[in-house]
Amino acid sequence: MKKISYILLVLLSFNACMKYDNYDLPNETFRGKIVDKDTRETVQTEIGGNGIRIRMLETSWGEDPQPYDFYCMQDGSFNNTKIFKGTYTIIPEGAFVPVDSIKNVEISGVKELNVEVEPLLRIEWVDEPVINRNTAISARVRIVRGTGSTEYQQELTDVYLFLNETPYVGYNDYDSRYSKHLTFSGNAGNAILGQEYLIETEGAFTPNRTYYVRAAARINCIIAGVNRFNYSEIKKVVVP
């Protein structure tokens, strides 16, 4: 009997100490795009930690809020449907010239925000990628600087032609058997800037497959702790 009384006492004490979370679940929507201020096109990126990060500071919560981070989709857009209602400072970070924090953003219901930036590089398809003798995909690209700021015009260090069997393709998700990686030292990479540049995938393909191809490049510049790539749009290639 004493044992049962002791257990009941412990349970009552535990229940008295419990605090219930009576806050509403986050259900506001924050969406928008990261836009190249010159071309008016969205800034292509990759999914995950090496892509464009949206950092949110809920200033209506307190003077020193904990950062909340999420990442853009591949096409440079974002759509987060699980945000608490409140006032925020927004800090976009990616392969572009850093922008000023956007303060006093009120999020209630659906909030849209497009941010104009200067990408470090622009990667353009000169023409459509083609199958070359059924053994490789070749493509002509043009890589140009996206900003006139000399502070963000470091040397070109890497060029990739990424390939994958899914539409998700980039440095975080690619088939290493076929994707081509070129590296440059010193100012050697700068010589191809502004030029039509031919690049081919590696290896021989399996027939009757669909692949997704994407060009990427980066300079020797770290933004928010990451040396990120700039990207082209994704192209679909069917291997007969």
Please compute the mean of the pLDDT values over residues 137-151 and round it to a whole number. 96
pLDDT in tens, 105-137: 999 999 999 999 999 999 999 999 998 876 789
- The residue type of 133 is R
According to DSSP, the β-strands at 230-231 and 209-219 are antiparallel
What is the per-residue pLDDT for 37?
97
Q: What is the pLDDT, as a whole number, of residue 12? A: 47
**What is residue 16's predicted lDDT score, i.e. its pLDDT?**
47
Q: In whole angstroms, give the CA distance from residue 30 to residue 110.
A: 6
Statement: residue 8 has pLDDT above 80 = no
* Percentage of the chain exceeding pLDDT 70: 90
Q: Stretch 70-86: mean pLDDT, rounded? A: 97
The answer on pLDDT for 3 being more than 60 is no
Q: Which pLDDT does position 1 carry in this prediction?
A: 47
Coil/strand/helix, residue 20:
coil
pLDDT over 60 (residue 14): no
Give residue-wise pLDDT tens across range 165-188: 999 999 999 999 999 999 999 999
Is the model's pLDDT at 5 over the cut of 70? no
Computed over every residue of the chain, the mean pLDDT equals 90
pLDDT per residue as tens digits for the range 19-36? 444 567 899 999 999 999
Do the strands 136-145 and 121-125 form a parallel or antiparallel pair, or are they unpaired?
antiparallel
Cα atoms found within 13 Å of the Cα of residue 88, Cβ hemisphere only: 24
- Non-local CB neighbours of 40 within 8 Å, separated by 6+ positions: none
In order of their start, the domains of the chain are 28-117 (2.60.40.1120), 121-239 (2.60.40.2060)
Both tokens assigned to 79: 């759509």
Q: Is the Cβ–Cβ distance between 180 and 188 less than 8 Å?
A: no
In 72-109 the beta strands, taken as DSSP E runs, fall at: 77-83, 86-93, 102-107
Comparing CA positions, the residue from 37, 219, 208, 223 lying closest to residue 144 is 219
What is the average per-residue pLDDT within 195-200? 95
Band of the pLDDT at 18, cuts 50, 70, 90?
very low
DSSP character at residue 223: B
Q: Which two tokens stand for residue 33?
A: 């795009």
Give residue 19's pLDDT.
Answer: 46
Over residues 197-214, mean pLDDT: 90
**Continuous H helices in the chain:** 2-17
User: Encoding tokens for residue 34?
Assistant: 């990261």
User: Taking 70 as the threshold, does the pLDDT of residue 72 lie above it?
Assistant: yes
Measured CA to CA, the distance from residue 25 to residue 48 in angstroms comes to 24
pLDDT of residue 137: 92
Nearest CA-CA partner of 32 in 67, 83, 66: 83
Q: Model's pTM, two decimal places? A: 0.87
